[in-house]
A and B are shown apart, each in its own frame.
Chain A
Amino acid sequence: MPNPASPKAELEAIAQAVDRVATADAATLAELKTEYLGRKAGRLTGILRSISGLPPEERRAVGRRANELKQELEAAISSREAALESEVARPSDVDWTMPGRHRWRGAKHPVASVVDEICEIFRELGFTRVSGPEAETEDYNFTKLNIPLDHPAADEHDTFYLGPGVLLRTHTSPVQARTMERYEPPIRIVVPGVVYRRDPFDPSHSPMFEQIEGLVVDEGVSFVDFKAGIDYFVKHFFTADTAVRFRPSFFPFTEPSAEVDVQCQICHGSGCSTCQQTGWLEIMGCGMVHPAVFENCGIDSERYTGYAFGMGMERITMLRHGIPDIRLLFENDMRFLSQFVE
C-alpha cells in the first residue's frame, strides 16, 4: 500500500501514469486499470476513499485533483481500448485496400446548379437576381410585352388559364415589366423561375420548365453591348473558345431580335445527331428591348435602350450532362439525382 500520508505526491505519481496508457498493449492496459481504478485496491480509488479523513484545508484541493485525474484516466483508458479493438492499432495487419466509410451526401438538382452558375456569371456584368409570381395576368404576360392576343405570335405560348385574364406565366418576362414599372434605370436583372406551357410531356417537352430571363435598361445600351453581354456569358459558361453566332429572329418584345447558337459542345461543329448535323445548338432568344415595351411600362423609349434574353434551363442542363430525356429532370429518381453529388 502506498503511503497515505502524502496524497499530493501520490496524485502526481498517478498523473505520470496517465501517459503510459496511450502506448499500452491490451495486457498492460488491464494491469493499469486494476492498479489505479480497481474497486478494492486501486490507488486512485484509495485516495478518493481517504479524502474524508484529510485535514479540511487539504480536503478540497485533493478531492478536486483526484476527481479530475479519475475522469482523465477513465477517458484515456476507454480511448485506448477502442484503438486496440480497431485494427489501426496493428498497422502491419491492415488491408489498406478495404473500402472507407462514407456518409450519405446529397446533390443539388442539376437544373438548380446551372441556374446558379448562370446568375453568377451575369453578376460579374452587374446584374442582380430577382423573381416574380408564377400566376400572372394576361396584361403582364402578354399585353405589356407587346404580344397582342389577336396576333399569331401569341400562339407560340400555349397557355394554361386559371380564370378570366389569369394564367400561369409562359415565360419569366412579366418580371421585366414589373421591374421597369418599379425602378428607374440602370436596370440589369436576371430572373430565374419556372414557367408553364400547355405541352404534354415527351422527351423534349414538359408542361413546366425553368427559364432565365435577363433585362438591361440604360442610356446608350446598343446592339454592340447586347452582343458583348451574351458573348461574355457564353464564353464563361461554356469555354472561352466556343464559337457563338447571332441569327435574326422574331419576338414581339424585342427588336432587333436574335436567336443565339453556340458551337455544338458534342461534335465541336463538325455535325452530329444532337445538333442535327448543323454544328450549332440554339440556346437562347434575345434582342434589343422593343420600344413599345418601354412605352407600356412607363419608360422613355427615346432616352433609354436595352436588351433582353431568355433561355430554357432544362435544355442547357441536358446538353451539359448528356441527358437524353427531359422527364428525368422531374421524376426524382434517386439513381438519377445521386449522380450529381459534387
Chain B
Amino acid sequence: MIVSVNWLSAMLGRELDPDDAAERLAMLGAPVEAIEHVRPALDDVVIGVVEKVEKHPNADRLTLCHVDAGKGVVEVVCGAPNVREGAKYPYAAAGAVLPGGLELEARKIRGVVSNGMLCSARELELGTEHEGIMEVRTDAAPGTPLLEAMQLADTRMDLEVTPNRGDLLGHKGVARELGAAYGAPVKLAVIPDAPAEGPAPRMVKERGTVDGVEISIEDVEGCPRYMGAVIRGVKVGPSPAWLEARLRGIGQRPINNVVDATNYILFELNQPLHAFDLAKVRGNRIVVRRAHPGEQMVTLDGEKRELTPEMTMICDGEGPTAIAGVMGGGDSEVSDETNDVLLECAYFDPKRIRATRRKLKTSTEASYRFERGTDIEGMTDVLRRAVALIRAVAGGEEREAAIDVYPKPRKAQAVFLRPARVEHVLGTPVPQEEIERLLLSVGFPVAPKVGRLHVQVPGWRPDVTREVDLIEEVARLKGYDSFPVELRPLRPSVVPDDPVEPVKARVRSVLTALGLNEARSLSLSSQAGEDAVRLLNPLSVEDAHLRQDLLSGLVRSAERNWAARERDIRLFEMGTVFHAGGEGVPRESLWLAAVISGASAPPHWSSSGKSPDYDLWDVKGMFEEAARAAGADGSVVAAAAGWELRDASGEQRGRAGMLEADRPAWAAPLFGFELSVSAAEQPYVAYRGLATTPPVERDVALVVPDGVTAQAVESAMREVAGALLVDSRVFDEYSGEGVPGRSVAWRLVFRAPDRTLREEEVDEALRGVLTTLKERLGVERREA
C-alpha cells in the first residue's frame, strides 16, 4: 500500500516527518518498505497574482496581464480565456526551465514583450487540463514557490500491510494509527467547491428505487449491503489539479473526474466504488445475484470469463454488467459521453470474493480490499462523501436520496476483555485506565463492567473477534518494547528428543573426518519412478517429482563440479526420500548418500605432487564405516558390481560401487554409496579385557582358484582355527606368471587368552586350516 505523507499530514493537521512516521508505523505493525521523495521539476515556478488584465494592443485573443510575482509587477502576454484579475497562477519568469526542459526567454509577442508566462496544468505536467491556465487557490504570497504553495513535493511510503489489517489499505486507517501514536485526531480534508452533502441514504430491505433505478439483492450472502446513488448531469472531463496531484502522489494515473473521484475515495477510505454510466444500465435496474451455471461475460480487460454460482454478479435488466467486487464489464463504464451516473457502494463477502478472484486468477484493487474485509458500518458516510466529491469535480445533481439495500443490518460487534487476563497473557500489569485509553485511541469505545470491559469493535476492524485480539491491541499500542525482558523460572520439556538426531550427528562427524563435504540438494527431481510422488503444481517439469533416492542428485552435483573444472569431489548428503504410500500421504525415509572422485589425499611435494585416486576399495571402506556410523544393523556383502548392505532379514538397505556419470575425459572415476539411516539406538561399548598373552603371527600366501572368494577362504579359516585365530587380514594379492588363478596373502594372528601358545600348537592349527582349504575350496599354500 502506497501512502502519501502530504495526504496523511492533511488528515492529522500536522506536518509529518516521514522517517519518524515510518518508524512509528513499523512499531505499530505496518513496516514501511520504502520511502520515496517525489518532487516535480518546478523549482523555477512561483505564485503570481494577476493585478490587471488588459487587451493586447495587436491581437484579439491575447491579453496583457500585469503580474506581481514578488519582485515588482511585470507584463506578461497571455492567451488563456480564463485569466481574471485578482487570481493566482503559476508564473515562470524569463530564464525559468519548465518540466520537459523548455527554457523561457523574454520575447516579443505581436509587438509586445512578454516577461515569462502564466502556465497551464499540462505545461507543468501537473494534469491534463490545457484549455486554460491553472488557477491556484492559496493564501501564499506572490513569489512563493509553487512547490510550497501547492504542497507538490510529497513523500511516498510503501507500507507492508498484513492480511488482517484491511483498514490500513486507506489513508484514513493509516492516519488513525499515526493519530494514536502522536495523540492527534483524524479529520478528512475539506473538498474544494463541494456542494452541501445531500440527504442520508434511505435504508430498505431486499429492494428499492432511487431516481427511477430499481436495486435489489438476491444473493444476500454474497452481498449483504448495496447502496446506490444517482447523479444526473455530470460533465466528464479532466479532474482539477488538486485531485490529480493526490492520485499522482500515490502513483495512480488520473483517468477522468468521475473515475478519479471514486479512486480518491478508494485510497482515502478503503471503500471500492463503481460508477456506472446510467444510460448503459439496461432496464434501469440493478440485480445482485449469483451467476448461473455456465454463464459467461466479457470483462473490462477483454477476457471472456466463465462464471460459476459462487460468484456474485451485478446485473442490469438484461444480464451481468460486473463481477461483484472484482471487475466490471466494458459496456457500462463511464466515458466522455456520460451524463448520468449510478454510483455503487457495496459490501461483498470476503470469502466469496476470495473464491471468485482465485477462480478468475485476477486480483484488482477492489477485490484485494473486499477480500480483507471493508467497513460495512461506515458505508453511509463514504457514499455521501463520494457523491459530494463527484459533484464537486464533475458537477451534476443528486435528485433523490441514495438507496441503501441492507436486508439484515448487522449488530454492532462487541468483545469482553478481562483486565486480569491482559496481565496474565502479557506478564505485566496494565492499569485499566491505560487499557481503555489505548483502545479508544484507535476507535474502540470501552464500557467498564464488573471484572471486565465491554469493548465495541468498530466496523473497520473485522479482524477483532475475541479477547486475545484486544490483548494484542493493548500490547501493540502500549509498545512491545515497553514490556520487560526478564527470564523467569521455567519447567523443562516433557517431550523426548528425536532419537535420529544423534545418529545424524555421528554420521556427519565420521564422514567429514573422512574428508567428505556435506551437501544439500532440493528434494524435487525430474525422475518419475514407478512409485514416485508427483507434484500437482510443479514449478517446471524438471522439478515435478519428489526424489526417491539421494545418489542421483549427488551424481548431478558431481557433474556440476566437473563443469566448474573441479576434479576432486567428495560429497555426502542426508535427507528424506519419498515413495507413494497409502492414503495419499507418501512414505518418507531418511537416507545417506556419498560420492567420491579424484585424489584420495591432497597432493604433497614429498610424493611429487601425486596422490593416488580414489578407487573401489576406498568406497567400500567408506561404505562400511558409514553403515556403522548410521547404526545399520546389517553387513556389507558383495553384489553384482559392487556391494550391498543387507539387514538381518536379508533386506537391502544400501548399495555402493562405481557410478555412471557424464564424465569429462580428464575426470577420475566416480564412486558412491547410499544407505538407509534409522534411529536404532547404539548400545554403549562393552569393554573387552586386554590380552596379556603374546600373539603369534603367521603369513600365508594361498593360491586361490578362479571363482573362490576371499570371504569364503576367510570364513573357512575361522571355522577351522576357532577361537585361537583372533585376527586375519589380507595384505597382498598377486596374479600373473606362475600362478594359476591368483595368489592372496593373509596375515593370521593366533592367541590363546589364558596361556602362551606353543609354536607347535600354532603349526598344528595352521595345518588344519590348510587341509580344509584344500579339500573344500581347492586352495593351496603357495610355494615360495
Contact = CB atoms under 8 A, between A and B. Distances in A.
B620 to A, nearest CB: 18
Contacts of B498: 129-131
A340 B586 CA distance: 34
B451 interface: no
Contacts of B351: 150
Given A106-B570, A245-B481, A222 B492 contact: no
Contact of B515 (A103, A150, A183): A103
A70 interface: no
B290 interface: no
Nearest to B372: A152
B604 A101 contact: yes
A162 B493 contact: no
Contact of B539 (A101, A112, A116, A207): A207
Given A106-B517, A162-B584, A126 B604 contact: no
Given A109-B519, A126-B493, A223 B602 contact: no
B512 A188 contact: no
Given A150-B354, A162-B586, A256-B475, A225 B490 contact: yes
A109 B575 CA distance: 13
Interface stretch (A2-10, A18-26, A38-46, A330-338): A330-338
B485 A128 contact: no
Nearest to B355: A150
Interface string A106-120: 111101100010000
A312 interface: no
Given A135-B588, A162-B533, A188-B493, A334 B518 contact: no
Given A130-B498, A227-B483, A186 B493 contact: yes
B490 A126 contact: yes
B709 interface: no
B557 interface: yes
Contacts of B505: 116
B560 interface: yes
A128 B496 contact: yes
Contact of A179 (B469, B475, B495): B495
A296 to B, nearest CB: 14
Contacts of B493: 126-128, 186-189
Contacts of A290: 468
Interface string B466-502: 1011011001100011011111101111111110110
B412 interface: no
A35 interface: no
A198 B538 CA distance: 8
B191 interface: no
B566 interface: yes
Contact of A101 (B492, B511, B606): B606
A340 B512 CA distance: 11
Contact of B521 (A107, A127, A161, A332): A332
B162 interface: yes
B708 interface: no
Given A187-B495, A207-B524, A332-B560, A129 B501 contact: yes
B485 A227 contact: yes
Contacts of B554: 332
Contact of A334 (B466, B534, B568): B568
Given A152-B354, A332-B571, A183 B495 contact: yes
B523 A194 contact: yes
B129 to A, nearest CB: 39
Contacts of B487: 225, 228-229, 232
Nearest to B510: A106
A321 interface: no
A134 B476 contact: no
Contact of B494 (A105, A186, A305, A329): A186
A258 B534 CA distance: 36
A164 interface: yes
A135 B578 contact: yes
A93 interface: no
B162 A134 contact: no
Interface stretch (B25-33, B206-214, B327-335): B25-33
Given A104-B601, A152-B163, A329 B520 contact: yes
Q: Which of A164, A290, A331 has the most CB of B within 10 A?
A: A331
A63 B490 contact: no
A90 B133 CA distance: 100
Contacts of B490: 125-126, 186, 188, 218, 225
B641 interface: no
B513 A331 contact: no
Interface string A50-74: 0000000000100110000000000
Nearest to A116: B505
B485 A256 contact: no
Contacts of B578: 134-135
Nearest to B463: A250
Contacts of A194: 523, 575-576
B424 A222 contact: yes
A27 interface: no
B716 to A, nearest CB: 28
A15 interface: no
Contacts of B82: none
A327 B546 CA distance: 19
A203 interface: no
B561 interface: yes
Contact of A248 (B472, B501, B538, B606): B472
Contacts of B425: 222-223, 288, 305
A256 to B, nearest CB: 4
Given A135-B585, A218-B490, A228-B485, A250 B601 contact: no
Nearest to A132: B498
Interface in A205-262: 206-208, 218, 220, 222-225, 227-229, 231-232, 245-250, 255-259
Contact of A133 (B571, B575, B588): B588
A102 interface: yes
Nearest to B516: A106
Interface string A85-101: 00000000000001101
A111 B586 CA distance: 26
Contact of B164 (A64, A153, A198, A338): A153
Contacts of A200: 539
B513 A106 contact: yes
A163 B584 contact: yes
Nearest to A196: B523
Given A128-B495, A223-B475, A224-B483, A250 B512 contact: no
B687 interface: no
B475 A130 contact: no
A338 B512 CA distance: 11
A128 B494 CA distance: 8
B475 A107 contact: no
A334 B424 contact: no
B508 interface: yes
Contacts of A129: 497-498, 501
A155 B163 contact: yes
Contacts of A155: 163
B577 to A, nearest CB: 10
A287 to B, nearest CB: 8
Interface string A282-293: 000000101100
Nearest to A182: B495
A76 interface: no
Given A150-B351, A224-B427, 14 more contacts: A109-B519, A129-B497, A131-B501, A135-B578, A152-B372, A155-B163, A160-B535, A207-B543, A227-B483, A228-B487, A247-B31, A255-B471, A332-B573, A341-B517
19 contacts: A103-B601, A104-B514, A104-B570, A129-B501, A134-B576, A135-B586, A137-B585, A150-B355, A153-B163, A160-B535, A163-B536, A187-B493, A188-B491, A194-B523, A198-B539, A256-B471, A288-B425, A334-B561, A335-B566
Nearest first, the 9 closest Cβ-Cβ pairs linking A and B are A222-B427, A104-B515, A224-B427, A248-B29, A250-B162, A126-B492, A106-B512, A332-B557, A337-B517
